Structure 1
Amino acid sequence: MKLPAFMEMYQQLIAAPSISALEESLNMSNQNVIHLLAQWCETLGFIVEVTELEHAKGKYNLIARRGSGDGGLMLAGHTDTVPFDDSRWQFDPFKLSEQDNKLYGLGSIDMKGFFAFVLNAISELDELQQNAPIMILATADEETTMAGAQEIAKHPSLKPARCIIGEPTDMVPVFTHKGHMTTAIRIVGRSGHSSDPERGLNAIEIMHQVIANLLKLREELKNKYSTPHFAIPYPTLNLGHIHGGDNANRICGCCELHIDMRPLPGLSIKELQAMLTAAVAPINTHYPNSVSVIDMHEPIPAFTGSTDSALVKMAERLSGQQAIAVNYCTEAPFLQQLGCETIVMGPGSINQAHQPNEFLAMEKIQPSQDIIKQLIRESCFAYTSCIK
C-alpha cells in the first residue's frame, strides 16, 4: 500500500466524523480516524498499538513507533472534534472544501490536519538515515475529558525525549499554558407555592449569594496571582451557564450554575478547588447541605514548560518565532508526565478553533510543512539533506 498524497489524507480525515461531546446523543467513536492513521503509519514502517479507553468504550488511542529504544520524538494530536451547528456552516463540515485559498472542514486545524502534515513529512525523509525513534500519538476525547491523554500518561514503556503537540498555533512554539476547570454549583432548596414564601427555600435567592461570593473570589484571584508571560496574566473565573426553577408561581427548589476557571502555572487544581469550596462554605453553613460543588470533568492542570529547553530553542530557531504562553489548554500537562520536553506547536490559527467554517489558510501549508519536517529531521535523523 502506498501512502496517499497530502491532500487525499486531509480529505479522508475530515470525512471521518469523530465528535466528542458530554451530551451522549452527539458523542461519536473515533475508530474510523484511528483506522486510517493505523493503515498509513504501517505503510511507513511503523509498529502500531491501538487501545480502547478503559472508561470510554468506543474511543481509541493509537501509538505508532518506528525505531527502537527510548528517546526520540513523539508527535501528538487528538482525533476528535467539537460538535458543530449546521445552520452556521456554509460548507459541509465533513467534506474538505477549497474556496478563496482556504481549506474548510471540521477538524481542518483542530486538529486532524496535523496528522496529514506529520505523515507527509516523514514520507519525505530517508528511513535509512533515521537514528532515533519516531512516535505518532493519536488520542481520544481531548475536547471533553482528555481521557485519552490521561491514560497515555500512565503508559509503562512510552519514553520519548521530546514531544510536539500539534494544536493550531500558526507554528509558533508554546511553552506554557493555563489549566481548565469546569464546575457545577448546585443549590437544592425547598419548593412550594409562591404565595407563601416562608414555607419554601428559594434556590435562586441562595444562588444570588453564591454568585456574590464567586465575584469576590474572581477579584481575589486577579489581585493575588499574576504571570506576565500571559496576555491575560491572572487566573480567570467565568459564570457561563445558569438554570433554575420551572414556573413563576413556584418557589425555585433547584438552581445550577456552571463556571469555567483557568488556573495559572504554579496554582494547583487542589488549591483552586479549596478556594472555591471556601467561597461557598458560609452559605452552606447558613443553609445546611444546600450547596454542592461538582467537577463536571476531571480538571486539567496548567502546563509548565521552560524557555530554556533544547526543544523550545530548536522550535524558535526553525520557526523564527519566540515561544509564547497561551490562555487555552491542551493535553501537554499529561503527556509531559512521560518525562519528555514538551511544546505545543502546529499549523493553523487558534482563532479558527471551535468556529463555524473552520479553515486552514492554504498559503500556510508549505511553510508549516517545512518547519515540521525540519523538527523531525533534527530530532531523529543523522543527515542534513531532508529530501530523498
Structure 2
Amino acid sequence: MPSGKLHREMTEEILSRCRWRFIDEELRKIIVEHVAEPDEQDKNDKEKVLKEKCVYEGKEITPEECREIWQKIKELERSYDTCVKEYGSDHIECLKLKKESEIIEKVLKIPTPYEKFVKHHEGLNDLAYRYYFVNAVRCYMLGFKEEAMKHLARALHYIQDAPLSRQLIMKSSITEEVVKSEEDYHNEFEKEISKIWRNSKNEFLMRIKAESSNSNLCEIDNVSELVQPVDNPSEILEKALYATYVVLKKFECEIERLSKPEFMEGLRKKYVNSKKICRFSFATLFAGILVLVLLQMIAPHITEFSTWFGVILIISGSIGIVLSNWLIESERIELYKAGILDKPPKFLTSKVEYRQGEAITIELLPYRLPCKKHIARERPFHVCDFS
C-alpha cells in the first residue's frame, strides 16, 4: 500500500515532469516498470534476524556471558578429544569432560537466526533503501545503466511506502464507513488513496515543484526524516511524492559528483597510495621477523642490536598495515560506489539495533545483487587485497 499501479503512476509523473541529466526516456521506463517489484511474489527482499538473548539455567544472561559459557563448552570438547586420543573414550577423565560439557550445553539456550520479509511501512526501512540506492549509483558508474534503474526503482518503492502508518483510521469515500489500516481493509485503502491521487495529483505535483525549488536537495542526508509515518491519506501521498523527487535528485547529484575526473582521480590516488603503504609495511613486518630469526643465527654476538632492530621493523610494519586499512575503510563507501572496490562496507547490508537492552542483528537478504566490475575469480589471499 500504495498499490502497484499507484507506485508506477506516481513515479511516472515525477519522472515525466522534470528534466533529468542521467535518466533518459528508456531508463525512465525501466524505473516505472520495476518500482512495484518488491511487492511481487518471489521478488521480495528478506532479512535474517538474530536476537542475542541467551538463557542459562533458566535465567537471561548478557551476550558477553553467553560467549564465555559457549567458549567454555568448546574448550571442554577440545579437552575431551585430546583425552580420547591419549587414553581412549572409556577413560574416567574423558567421561567426566564429556558429561560436564553436555550438562552446560543442555542448560544453555542460544538464539538461532530466522528470516522474515523486510518492513515496508511505518517509517523508512533504512537498510533496504540504503542498499538499493548505493548500488544504483554503483551500477550506473560501472556502465550497467539498466540494472542501476532496477536498483533505483526498489529504493523508490521503500521511500514511497514509508509514510504509511498501519494505525491509519479514516472514513472511506466509497463505503462511507470508518475503517482501520489492517490487512482486512487493504483493498479499501488502496482505492481510497488512489481516488485522492486521481482527484488531486496536479495540486500535489505543483506543491512539490514549488517546495523543491527552494532547497538544495543534494545536501539532504537523512531522507528518513522526510517520510515519517502519518495517518492522513493526503499527507501520505505528499510525503511519498516529495521523497521520490528528492531521491531521484540525489541520485543525479551522486552521479554528477562521482563523474568528475578530478574526484575520481583523487579516489584512485588514495586507493593506490593505501595499497603501496600496505605492501611496504607488510615487507617491513616480514623483514623484522627475518632480522629476529636470521641475525641471531648468523651473528649471535649482536643479539641485542638485532632484537631491537627487528622489533622496530615489526612495530613499524604493523602500524603501516593498520593505517592503510584505516585509510581504505574511511573511503570504502565512496570507492564502492565509484566501482573501484567490489567489497561493500558492512553497514550496507547489516546493522545492530538495541531494543530494551536486547541486541538484535539484522542482515539484509536482497533480491537484487550488486553489480560487479569483473568476473569473480579465485586468487590467493593477500593482506593488502582491499577489493
Fold match by TM threshold 0.5: no
Structure (1 or 2) with the greater helix fraction? 2
TM-score by length of 1: 0.20
Which is bigger in relative contact order (C-alpha 8 A, separation at least 6)? 1
Structure (1 or 2) with the greater strand fraction? 1
